[in-house]
Copies of this chain bind each other. A is one copy, B any other.
Amino acid sequence: MTERSFISIQDVSKHFGDVRAVDNVDLEIAKGEFFGLLGPSGCGKTTLLRMLAGFETPTSGEIFIDNEPSAAVPHFLRPVNMVFQNYAIFPHLNVFQNIAFGLRKDKLSKDELTRQVDTALEMIKLEGYGNRGAHELSGGQRQRVALARALVKKPKVLLLDEPLGALDKKLREQMQLELRDLQRELGITFVFVTHDQEEALTMSDRIAVMADGKVLEQGAPAKIYERPQTRFAADFLGSMNFIDGQIKGIDGDAYVIETDQLGTIKAPNTAQKFAEGEKLTIGLRPENIQISPRASKVQRENSVNAVVKTAAYLGDRAHIYVVLKDASEPVLVTMQNLEGAISNTLESNLDVAISWSDRSVLMLKNS
């Protein structure tokens, strides 16, 4: 356990009967971090969160919060609070009573209680909503009240279970930024669970990608998105073109890779070691591929002729599927729509060239 880690999850497993919901997970979360647990439904991320909250007990392994082993602590004494997925607003209490619920035990004076709740209402921009009934709140307001109710307890760690899952798209995008700003302001450690990759990328300082109860990889959003180590993470976070290849040789500080689909391509010789002759999977992010008319001069290292198969105009950008001469699997290219220039490349059967740079080529081990 390093000095830095505030929450330490050490070799934790949780079995429900024969199901290994969480399978030998190790995680270290620093103080003040906004940490995202990302994965498809059923990957064990919620179970892991519920173990941090004390609603589930690990089958094996140990969890330390602020250097205290948390196994023995009853959950109502833990220095953590939780925002539930459906917000779990008490339906029989008004906003004030909801927020004040956790302060009952503190035996505050009436004035002090009012002051604390008012401060919380101000924080979530719901001044004057104290007397509203739970059923009078919109989805976004319920989310804020749930947040305030947990934060008045001044927890060392705030856990959030799909905090924005119940909100519609525009509100969700706005709340993502608000939530992150709030966390930075308060300096409290936030751990949240989501299945939405954009939410994880937008809000987290670090992300752990989970699948089948295991943590596949973890790191800063840009690292996970731009340099994923596993095919699962590469595919789950955004779109990715996967191309089968084989190492043909090493040319200085670059690998030379033979592919059926793109011919011979190069990739930088990074830390990951590949042997000559080894088969591997190449990953190319659609936004790292450039599409241009055949005639135009291409400045990047790799360029291949292709034909537009189909294209989806999305307004601010387009998804263009191109096929290469002898390849059946189309390659996806994403292009930002700068001043409507995109329209020139959306026509089916248009002859185009696609290009990419060596350093955008991702090399993934076949397992």
Contacts and interface: CB of A to CB of B under 8 A. Distances in A.
Contact of A316 (B239, B310, B340): B239
A336 B338 CA distance: 10
A336 B334 contact: yes
Interface residues of A, number: 40
A354 interface: no
Contacts of A202: 312-314
Interface string A285-312: 1111000000000000000000000101
Contacts of A317: 287, 317, 336
Interface in A250-295: 285-288
Interface in A217-261: 221-222, 225-226, 237-239
Interface string A338-367: 111001000000000000010110000000
A317 B251 CA distance: 32
B201 A315 contact: yes
Contacts of A239: 316
Interface of A: 173, 176-177, 180-181, 197-198, 201-202, 221-222, 225-226, 237-239, 285-288, 310, 312-317, 319, 321, 334-340, 343, 357, 359-360
23 contacts: A173-B319, A177-B321, A197-B315, A198-B315, A201-B312, A201-B314, A202-B312, A202-B314, A221-B313, A221-B315, A222-B313, A222-B343, A225-B313, A226-B337, A226-B340, A285-B316, A287-B316, A287-B336, A287-B338, A288-B339, A317-B336, A335-B336, A336-B336
